Amino acid sequence: MVAQISPQSADASAEPALGLTDEQVNRVFRALADATRRDIVRRTLTAEASISELAADYDMSFAAVQKHVSVLEAADLVARTPKGRERIICGNPETIRRVQELLGHFEQIWRSRIDRLDAFLSERPE
């Protein structure tokens, strides 16, 4: 067994991928793995809202929603800006775009495999 520090693609140590740290990518996917949090992202992408406005629509405590927002903020999927006594939450489309792009790379990896297979097959017509 080869002890492998970084389980990432074998090229480099801590790869930036698309400017996103390995840990950042973890945080983003983790944050998106919850329906309430996805809903918050959707809502705050459409129109900014305060935490209590958000909390009013979910069947859980204010503190719980507050925690969800914190998770989203840590993942940079959402920004929290003070405005008087409330905190305005608004979604960050840039992070969404980056993750989408990252998944695009996966598809590309797969596609290149198919291309290699095609090339191999066309080399030997029968």
50 contributes a contact to a second copy by CB under 8 A: no
Q: Using CB under 8 A, pick the residue from 13, 19, 35, 121 that binds a second copy.
A: 35
Distance CA 95, CA 61 (A): 27
Tell me the one-letter amino acid at 57. D
Q: With CB under 8 A, what is the number of residues at the site for a second copy?
A: 47
16 contributes a contact to a second copy by CB under 8 A: no
24 contributes a contact to a second copy by CB under 8 A: no
Q: Which is nearer to DNA, 46 or 108 (CB)?
A: 46
71 to 90, contacts with a second copy by CB under 8 A?
Answer: none
What would the two tokens of residue 60 be? 């859980």
Residues 107, 115: contact at Cβ < 8 Å? no
* Binding at 113: pick from DNA, a second copy, none (beta carbon under 5-8 Å per type): a second copy
Burial of 56 (0-12, 13-18, 19+ CB in 10 A): exposed
* Binding at 67: pick from a second copy, DNA, none (beta carbon under 5-8 Å per type): DNA
**31 backbone dihedrals φ, ψ, rounded to 5°:** -60, -35
What would the two tokens of residue 73 be? 């903020």
Distance CA 76, CA 84 (A): 22
Residues that bind a second copy (CB under 8 A): 1-9, 22, 25-30, 32-36, 38-39, 41-42, 45-47, 55-59, 91, 93, 96-97, 99-100, 103-104, 106-107, 109-110, 112-113
